[in-house]
Amino acid sequence: MIAEAKQVLKQYFGYDEFRDGQARIIGNILEGKNTVGIMPTGGGKSLCYQIPALMQDGVTLVISPLISLMKDQVDSLLHQGIPATYINSTLSNNEVESRMEEISLGEYKLVYIAPERLESSGFLHFLHTLPIPLVAVDEAHCLSQWGHDFRPSYLGIYKAVNQLSSNPVILALTATATPQVQEDILHHLQIPDQNKVLTGFQRTNLFFQVVKGEDRKRWVEKYVSKNKQHSGIIYCATRKEVENLYLHLEKKGYAAGKYHGGLSDTLRQEQQEAFLNDSITIMIATNAFGMGINKSNVRYVVHYQIPKNMEGYYQEAGRAGRDGVDSECVLLFSPQDIQTQRYIIDQNIVNPELHKNEMQKLRDMIDFVHTEACLQNYILNYFGEHVDQECGHCSNCLDDRESEDVTKEAQMVLSCMMRMNERFGTSLISGVLTGSKNKKILDWGFDRLTTYGLMKDQSQKEVGLFIDYLISEGIIGVEGGSFPVLKVSTKGKEVLMGERKVTRKIQPTVSAIVPKEDGLFHALRNLRKSIADSEGVPPFVIFSDKSLQDMCMKKPKTSEEFLHVSGVGESKLVRYGELFINEISAFLEENPQHQVEIQKPETTYKSNKSDTASYLISFSLFKEHKKIKDIAKERGMSTATIENHIIRTYQEGMMDDWSILFTEEEEILIEKAVSKVGTGLLKPIKEELPKEISYFQIKGYLVKAGQK
């Protein structure tokens, strides 16, 4: 059965091998076992029901919570030659009746519906007449009131499906489920625990970063300016913040859109379509946007404010890099955002037990912001997955920036707070420190304090950001609700007494997160956009960025060669093969320097399902004896990203000259440090070594040691 499923996978979807967990889930379904599949966003959950749908007689029913998801999925399936449709509230009664008649005639293999549709006795009666071998329940975490997106309509799914005369198999799928939520899914759908397939939550192509104490608007402006060619989502906690940031970026000339509940349905739909079609590259939105969006080429997700829980954060962050290409997830943190989220929870949750649960989730999110350990591991641990090794590529793992001593400045702030009797917030305290002539400051005589004007060489905003940093480090506490008051914490008192030092990392510069593509990629992307516009579908439906990158690598000249490109099945070969082959051929004629391919060495090495051209390009430049910093500058990437690319070539057996990374003496020093503190975390190893030995060298040593 799995061999036949692999043929279907190649024929319709253009892939040679299943991803982790897919074969087991599909095997369970074909054996008639109700199954729960828990896989990360971008892990290929939809294939787990689409392939069985193509292999079995009858029509597969897919229950989905969002209209946008249905449309995206159906558009993609139709372009792969798979008959599919949806029934939802966007259709007129006549359209619904017409589609139901077509379903009865067996014209579709997959039908998408909302869970509320099962509450209609008429629709249930219609389903009784159909041969339905499989019901797929997408976003299954909606079944649990302890999850982040509980929907009561999901609770009626099992009863409705259990009544169907065709006795279908049930497949439940989700990307974000804590152990408690997993138990709820199994319980509500009466699925035995042994039929749960959990592949893990890790997304190796995502780079996680937390940025504290920055001027967020300025930071975002720099960031999007360096990633103009790429699609990204910026999530804000409130409609007001969405509007403010949207107006700011629009005035600066960026192709941005906005999405929140205060807009009309028509305007929201227009903005979403513009983003899907790459007419705008930046979507600024509340968390109402994006659930189920199947846009595969989102290169970055920025959270402008802290989200209220980890489930929501990881689901939203996971909308980056669904095609497996390197992408970035950045969380901008300011302590006052905590008050915003507390207010939102207070306004929306009245059940005391659920309120307590939501507040704990917010505390978990705050701990994520403050942790100095691996960010990816924190996320995995939250979802019940325990990993010994650090990810090696989040901002915490790569954080080898120099620290500066800011104890004196911290003491100035704390002294000012004490002299103001710890009764005020950031704005007034920063005003006193910078010597503001604010009427309130003068009326209360704060201009006569010894701390007045102590930090007048800085702007009030800069001092306010420094105070935010001290709050995030636990040196200053925050009390109160709508008008928070700052208090000197136990840590802060130690700083005042000279018993504790305060250091602050030198802030990193903002760099582009993906390489500057060459002319061929640009030409293929333009062709993709032209075809998409003519067919009225989003560009990623034609081909993903990963497929275009693979074309740039393989430069196919024939139909047979084109069929070996990742994501090219027989249907897409017929529809687009000639167009893209001709475009590649024409480009190579005009640019003969691109004829030389970056060849993979003949050495055998481990395959990696998320292979992209990016690390091979870095590898090629490294082989030319270019320095890491020069490669980073040439490619518009950070040195940390280039280092990870080079480490990967060692992991996969492409490089075996370790002397490029470290001398024999340095290797002995690293070996001693590792034997002392172990291999679990990089930071303790670094602390045992001389300053000149880098994280890059440590990671290289660990790879070499693991290959012995």
Specify whether 476 is located in the same domain as 584: no
d(CA 278, CA 536): 12
* pTM of the full structure: 0.61
Which tokens in the block code for residue 450? 């010894």
| Model confidence pLDDT, tens digit, residues 558-594 | 988 888 888 888 888 888 999 999 899 888 888 776 6
Specify whether 63 is located in the same domain as 191: yes
Q: Which residues are 486's β-sheet partners?
A: 478
Specify whether 371 is located in the same domain as 479: no
Return mean pLDDT, the chain: 84
Is residue 561 within 8 Å of 621, Cβ to Cβ?
no
Q: Which residues are 403's β-sheet partners?
A: 505
Residue 394, domain member (yes or no)? no
Residue 70, domain member (yes or no)? yes
Number of Cβ within 10 Å of residue 425's Cβ equals 16
In degrees and rounded to multiples of 5, residue 136 shows phi and psi of -100, 125
d(CA 59, CA 77): 14
Specify whether 462 is located in the same domain as 324: no
Q: Environment class of residue 645 by beta-carbon count within 10 Å: exposed (0-12), middle (13-18) or buried (19+)?
A: buried
**Alpha-helical segments (H) within 177-238:** 179-188, 216-225
Residue 529, domain member (yes or no)? yes
Residue 513, domain member (yes or no)? no
| Model confidence pLDDT, tens digit, residues 203-218 | 888 999 998 877 889 8
Q: pLDDT band at 293, cuts 50/70/90?
A: low
Residue the block writes with tokens 């911290």: 410
DSSP type of residue 510: P
CATH classification of the domain holding 499? 1.10.10.10
Domain that holds residue 575: 519-595
Specify whether 490 is located in the same domain as 537: no
Residue 17, domain member (yes or no)? yes
Question: What kind and span of H or E run contains 38?
Answer: strand 35-38
Share of the chain above pLDDT 70, in %: 90
Specify whether 157 is located in the same domain as 15: yes
| Model confidence pLDDT, tens digit, residues 487-520 | 999 999 999 999 999 887 665 544 444 444 568 8
CATH classification of the domain holding 265? 3.40.50.300
Q: Is the dihedral of CA 559, 563, 565, 567 positive or negative?
A: positive
Specify whether 408 is located in the same domain as 492: yes
Residue 125, domain member (yes or no)? yes
Short-list 83, 34, 21, CA closest to 58: 83
In degrees and rounded to multiples of 5, residue 271 shows phi and psi of -65, -40
- Residue 481 pLDDT exceeds 60: no
Terminal CA-CA length for the chain:
39
Specify whether 625 is located in the same domain as 577: no
Specify whether 193 is located in the same domain as 216: no
Specify whether 524 is located in the same domain as 498: no
Specify whether 636 is located in the same domain as 563: no
Short-list 307, 389, 399, CA closest to 695: 399
Domains: count for the chain: 5
Which tokens in the block code for residue 27? 């095997």
Residue 169, domain member (yes or no)? yes
Query: Diameter of the chain by CA atoms?
Result: 86
Specify whether 487 is located in the same domain as 450: yes
d(CA 39, CA 200): 6
Q: Environment class of residue 288 by beta-carbon count within 10 Å: exposed (0-12), middle (13-18) or buried (19+)?
A: middle
* 3-state SS, residue 460: helix
Residue 560, domain member (yes or no)? yes
